[in-house]
């Protein structure tokens, strides 16, 4: 990623090791609580910039302290470049980060911290736009420091190092001293939004306010419904119609190369269509990158949502500790065996906290991006996402049902389809790779069609 991008965002953080992280918070939160606070804030900061980075070809580099690269990847995922911070103090570490970025070919670089809850992708985008005109950009913090600093390569010279020397980091005059030094060096700068950071116990209300905003204002920003589709002309109209357009809802169809009228039908009904390619995990992730709402809902192209589904989603996500949810399953068939399959699926979903993708899984966009989206798997991507979500919080199944097409069961036989589904899950638990399981699944469908 960094080898082709001309803009690089460098995120300064540290591994959330108990006792050495957010030490000013330990007297009020305890060592574990302080480390957890830092972990949550880093994940939040990352979630705010991943989407804009993907859409603007922006490279993300994580400069870390503590731990090691393996621990950092296990924590934040393998989709970023990790570099150990180098230098005796914060100033030296930032200077080294800029030097490395420009030596590796970046045309501009911005450094941010992770203790600014209200930092957004819009602020980051604005900062890089500023660097097309100015020699330096700063993000002032209300406590007198700064949370963001950036330069274009053309303005970064050995003299700029004076901006990082002779400063007592953490004092209330850091921004003022930096601006004075820049003025003395003739560096034209620009200030982006002033924001609040969370550094001391008296700042904790800022973080709590941000968390409450995430959980209580979801209805104001609505739901992005993401529909992965390939050759779904027979079903896509009914699916989109079940969503409606009057409930602050964005409809995104991530088309995987349809050869029928799926795309034209979706566009005629007001959906945003993005071009993608299988597997379904890639389609859904690209749909999520294009989403603009606080909540994401992943809907199969042959599944219809219940009336007022948005109200049900908001009620579920406002419950304390809820990370995600799904609907009950209803299969559009009167067959009594199908009724039994529904019963088992809904019991599993509710009591094991394990809904599947055909139940229209919904999740906060922030949480989804924190987790890196759906894993890049050709099959079982919904199963694996739910397993990871269970570590984040409660996964609820609400009583209103979605209605899905019975075609899978009717095309290949009800009992045979059910048996294949269970064998797929068992194979995954036994350690077979998703690629192997996908090949076996395709083979089983071919045999069913020939039979």
Give 153-167 pLDDT, tens digit per residue. 998 887 787 888 888
Over residues 328-336, the mean pLDDT reads 92
Determine the pLDDT at residue 234: 94
pLDDT of residue 449: 47
Give the list of residues 6+ apart from residue 440 with CB closer than 8 angstroms, or none. Answer: 424, 427
Write the pLDDT tens digit of every residue in 117-159: 988 888 898 999 999 999 999 999 998 999 999 999 998 887 7
9 closest CA partner among 155, 168, 120: 120
pLDDT in tens, 241-281: 999 865 678 999 999 999 999 999 999 998 999 999 998 99
Structure tokens that stand for 248 in this block: 């602050």
Q: Is residue 287 predicted with pLDDT exceeding 70? A: yes
Looking at residue 52, its pLDDT comes to 60
Strand partners, 253: 227, 273
pLDDT at residue 5 in the model: 63
Mean pLDDT of the chain: 86
- Residue percentage of the chain with pLDDT more than 70: 89
- Which stretch of DSSP H or E encloses residue 81? strand 81-84
pTM over 0.75: no
> What pLDDT does 355 receive?
92
Residues whose CB falls within 8 Å of the CB of residue 306, separated by 6 or more in sequence, listed in order: 242, 312, 327, 400, 401, 402, 403
CA-to-CA dists, residue 400 to 126, 250, 354, angstroms: 42, 21, 16
DSSP 93-147: HHHHHHHHHHHTT-SEEEEE-S--TT--HHHHHHHHHHTTT-SEEEEEBTTSSEE
Contact in structure between 293 and 223 (CB atoms under 8 Å) = yes
Give the confidence band of 1 by pLDDT, cuts at 50, 70, 90. very low
Strand partners, 394: 322
Q: 217-405 in CATH: which number?
A: 3.90.550.10
Beta strands in 220-321 (DSSP E): 223-229, 249-255, 272-275, 295-298, 303-304
Judge contact between 256 and 228, C-beta under 8 A: yes
Residue 178 scores a pLDDT above 90 = yes
From the list 156, 7, 153, 14, the residue with the least C-alpha distance to 82 is 14
Contacts of 189 (CB under 8 A, 6+ apart): 134, 135, 136, 137, 138, 179, 182
Residue with tokens 């972990």: 39
pLDDT for res 111? 96
What pLDDT score was predicted for residue 450? 45
- Reply yes or no on domain 7-214 having CATH 3.30.70.2080: no
Sign of CA dihedral 386, 387, 388, 391: positive
């Amino acid at each position: 990623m960094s080898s082709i991008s001309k803009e690089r965002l460098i995120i300064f953080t540290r591994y959330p090791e108990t006792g050495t992280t957010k030490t000013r918070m330990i007297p009020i939160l305890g060592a574990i609580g302080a480390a957890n606070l830092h972990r949550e804030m880093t994940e939040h900061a990352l979630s705010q910039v991943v989407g804009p980075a993907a859409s603007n070809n922006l490279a993300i580099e994580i400069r870390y302290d503590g731990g090691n690269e393996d621990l950092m990847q296990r924590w934040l995922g393998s989709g970023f470049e990790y570099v150990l911070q180098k230098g005796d103090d914060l100033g030296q570490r930032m200077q080294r980060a800029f030097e490395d970025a420009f030596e590796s070919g970046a045309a501009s670089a911005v450094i941010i911290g992770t203790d600014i809850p209200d930092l957004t992708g819009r602020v980051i985008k604005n900062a890089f736009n500023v660097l097309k005109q100015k020699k330096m950009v700063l993000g002032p913090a209300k406590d007198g420091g700064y949370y963001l600093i950036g330069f274009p390569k053309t303005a970064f010279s050995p003299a700029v190092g004076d901006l990082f020397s002779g400063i007592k980091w953490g004092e209330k005059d850091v921004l003022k001293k930096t601006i004075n030094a820049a003025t003395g060096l003739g560096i034209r700068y620009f200030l982006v939004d002033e924001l609040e950071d969370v550094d001391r116990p008296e700042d904790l209300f800022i973080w709590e306010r941000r968390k409450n905003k995430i959980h209580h204002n979801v209805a104001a920003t609505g739901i992005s419904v993401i529909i992965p589709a390939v050759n779904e002309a027979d079903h896509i109209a009914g699916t989109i119609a079940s969503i409606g357009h009057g409930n602050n809802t964005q409809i995104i169809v991530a088309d995987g190369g349809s050869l029928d009228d799926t795309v034209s039908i979706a566009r005629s009904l007001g959906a945003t269509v993005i071009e993608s390619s299988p597997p379904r995990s890639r389609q859904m992730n690209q749909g999520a990158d294009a989403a603009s709402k606080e909540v994401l809902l992943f809907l199969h192209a042959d599944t219809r949502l219940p009336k007022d589904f948005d109200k049900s989603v908001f009620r579920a996500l406002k419950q304390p500790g809820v990370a995600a949810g799904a609907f009950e399953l209803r299969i559009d068939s009167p067959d009594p065996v199908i009724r039994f399959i529904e019963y088992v699926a809904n019991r599993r979903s509710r009591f094991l906290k394990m809904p599947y993708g055909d139940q229209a899984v919904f999740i906060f966009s922030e949480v989804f991006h924190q987790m890196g989206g759906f894993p890049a798997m050709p099959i079982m991507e919904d199963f694996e996402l739910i397993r990871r979500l269970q570590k984040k919080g409660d996964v609820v199944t609400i009583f209103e049902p979605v209605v899905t097409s019975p075609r899978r069961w009717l095309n290949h036989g009800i009992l045979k389809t059910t048996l294949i589904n269970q064998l797929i899950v068992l194979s995954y638990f036994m350690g077979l790779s998703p690629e192997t399981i996908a090949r076996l699944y395709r083979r089983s469908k071919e045999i069913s069609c020939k039979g």
